[in-house]
Chains A and B, each alone.
Chain A
Amino acid sequence: MRLKDVSVSFNGRMAVRDVSFDVPDKRVTALIGPSGSGKTTLLRALNRLHDVTKGAKVEGEILLGDTNLYSREIHPTLTRTRVGMVFQRPNPFPTMSIYDNVVSGLRFSGIRKKAVLNEAAESALIAAALWDRVKDRLKMHASSLSGGEQQRLCIARALAVEPEVLLMDEPTSALDPVSTKRIEELMSELKNRVSIVIVTHNMQQAARISDLCVFLLMGDDGAGEQIEVAPTQKLFTDPVDPRTLDYIQGRFG
Chain B
Amino acid sequence: MTNIGDLPADPIIERRALIQATARSSLARRNLVSRLMLGVCALAFVVAGAVLIWIVALLISKGFHWISKPFFTQDPQTPTVFQQNNLGGIRNAIWGSIVIDGIALLIAIPVGLIAGHLLAESENSFANAVRKTTEVMTGLPSILFGIFVYEFMIIKFHYRFSGILGSLALVMIMVPVIMKASEIAFRAVPHSLKEAGLSLGLSKGVIAARIVTPAAVPGLLTAVLLAMSRAVGETAPLIWVIGNNYVATWSPYKQQSAIPISIYNGLLGAASPLQQDYAWGSALFLVVVVLFLNLGSRFLAAFLRRERH
Contact = CB atoms under 8 A, between A and B. Distances in A.
Interface of A: 47, 49, 52, 54, 77-82, 84-87, 89, 91-96, 104-105, 108-109, 141, 143, 154, 157-158, 161, 167
B192 A87 contact: yes
A105 B200 contact: yes
Interface stretch (B30-38, B97-105, B207-215, B237-245): B207-215
B108 to A, nearest CB: 25
Pairs of residues from A and B, 3 with the lowest C-beta to C-beta distance, nearest first: A81-B201, A105-B200, A85-B199
A157 B200 contact: yes
Interface residues of B, number: 22
B20 interface: no
Interface string B193-232: 1011111111100100011001101000000000000000
B-side interface mostly: helix
Contacts of B69: none
B184 to A, nearest CB: 18
Given A87-B192, A87-B195, A91-B196, A77 B308 contact: no
A105 B215 contact: no
Given A81-B201, A143-B308, A143-B309, A93 B206 contact: no
B6 interface: no
B14 interface: no
B195 A84 contact: no
B192 A77 contact: no
A113 to B, nearest CB: 18
Contacts of B214: 93, 95-96
B10 interface: no
Given A95-B308, A143-B309, A154-B196, A79 B211 contact: no
Contacts of A84: 199-201
B122 to A, nearest CB: 11
Given A89-B192, A143-B308, A108 B198 contact: no
Nearest to B309: A143
Contacts of B200: 80-81, 84, 104-105, 108, 157-158, 161
A112 to B, nearest CB: 14
A85 B195 CA distance: 9
A187 to B, nearest CB: 17
A108 B210 contact: yes
B302 to A, nearest CB: 16
Contact of B202 (A52, A82, A108, A154): A108
B126 to A, nearest CB: 15
A87 B201 CA distance: 15
A102 to B, nearest CB: 11
A49 B201 contact: no
B192 A109 contact: no
A47 B190 CA distance: 20
A207 B4 CA distance: 59
A92 B193 CA distance: 7
Given A105-B202, A154-B196, 12 more contacts: A78-B201, A84-B199, A84-B200, A87-B192, A91-B196, A105-B201, A109-B201, A109-B202, A141-B307, A143-B308, A143-B309, A157-B196
A47 B201 CA distance: 9
Contacts of B192: 87, 89, 91
Given A54-B123, A87-B192, A89-B192, A49 B206 contact: no
Contacts of B206: 108
Contacts of A95: 214-215, 217, 308
A149 B68 CA distance: 58
B201 A91 contact: no
Contacts of A81: 200-201
A59 B216 CA distance: 36
Contacts of A161: 200-201
B196 A49 contact: no
Contact of B195 (A91, A96, A108): A91
Nearest to A106: B200
27 contacts: A49-B195, A54-B123, A77-B202, A80-B199, A81-B201, A84-B199, A84-B201, A86-B199, A87-B192, A87-B195, A91-B196, A93-B211, A93-B214, A93-B215, A94-B193, A94-B215, A94-B308, A95-B214, A95-B217, A105-B200, A108-B210, A141-B308, A143-B309, A157-B200, A158-B199, A161-B200, A161-B201
Most B C-beta atoms less than 10 A away, residue of A49, A85, A91: A91
Interface in B261-309: 307-309
Nearest to A52: B198
A77 B196 CA distance: 12
B123 A47 contact: no
Of A54, A89, A104, which is in contact with the most chain B CB atoms at under 10 Å from its CB?
Answer: A104
* Residue of B192, B200, B217, B308 with most partner-chain A CB within 10 A: B200
